[in-house]
Structure 1
């Protein structure tokens, strides 16, 4: 029964019996991990406040091959999100991120890019008054990209030609973009700014994107509706509760 160690994000916890907790983590090294923290509900538990949602911890656990739940040995607090999570808006948005991560990420399959992205968003949203609707869009775009559900909006889906930055395009039935030469009558037009904003999200850090978001409200609103449709389709109807956006 090997010991595993990894920096991890606490996504959720559930009470188990009188003294224990089940915790769901996104780990940097091993992907999604679920485990039992024995005695975590006791007053003087060794886990202290380290299992608070969206805290970043250094996790140690044992795992048996035939067990879905690992045995959590230590969760040393690296960065606390207790104060940020006391804000109902932060809690709603990041609880949804936890649900979506659980839906899309595979257990025990590492996704360093997903880990770094979620970690960065937690830190940014916790440190300052942040536009959480813009944070949601950034997370959704990158989640779709990482999991392979985001169409390539840099080129026409039909002819493969790369779009010029100022070029108009149209949305096809699969939410891919086609140039005006390839598209057919009745397709939804997409302004260059909407396409360029999605491509910009894929190129810049969360902090840089959020600095720019304030001046692109209308574009973000239009892009957000398209991205939400993509996300809902990728997750499937059974995950409607997880994909539903927080009312903030």
Structure 2
């Protein structure tokens, strides 16, 4: 996991830009409903819900929208209508793709996923075809801005806090840990006075494929964008990295 990650940096910037769009509220609202339904409405006792509430606030989702979604999940039974699914497949160039879904219509979503993969030169695969390439990890983003620590000092702090691994780019540190340790590591970093820009449970590839062809990279990114634009899609994870020689073009 360690190492400079051009695509991860670009994807993080894209996510911040996407948070300005109204569609993100729809997706986060579904996540809040399901998390409250599964683990209860109190973020203090429901870590999954706490992460999503933090995500909602980072996206500037109004507090009344957040509370309304939590109440729906906890009280109305609306969370029962959403089903959590995971699709697996390949982007152009054999790049592995994992897609996390929350849907109220499995058949509709299956058709839409097949169409998106096919339209953009990919292939929807069978369950298990690429999931073995990924591990579920807690991921915390710490912005470098105003952080008076060099990489070695930060790594020492992160490891003492319980982190397993660290990735860096020009703008942030990415801290990885076991999913069940995410909150403990998050709190330990906060106790050290470090800002946490984002905390999430993500699917992290165990190894990556470097893409150095601009046309192929464009096809892969267009497939990812099309998947992320679908209302049912909550997360898209891949195992490709952009080569330094073409990263600036994206």
- Name the TM-score, length of structure 2 as normaliser: 0.22
Greater radius of gyration (CA): 1
Q: Greater relative contact order (Cα 8 A, min sep 6): structure 1 or 2?
A: 2
- Name the TM-score, length of structure 1 as normaliser: 0.22
- Bigger fraction of residues in helix: 2
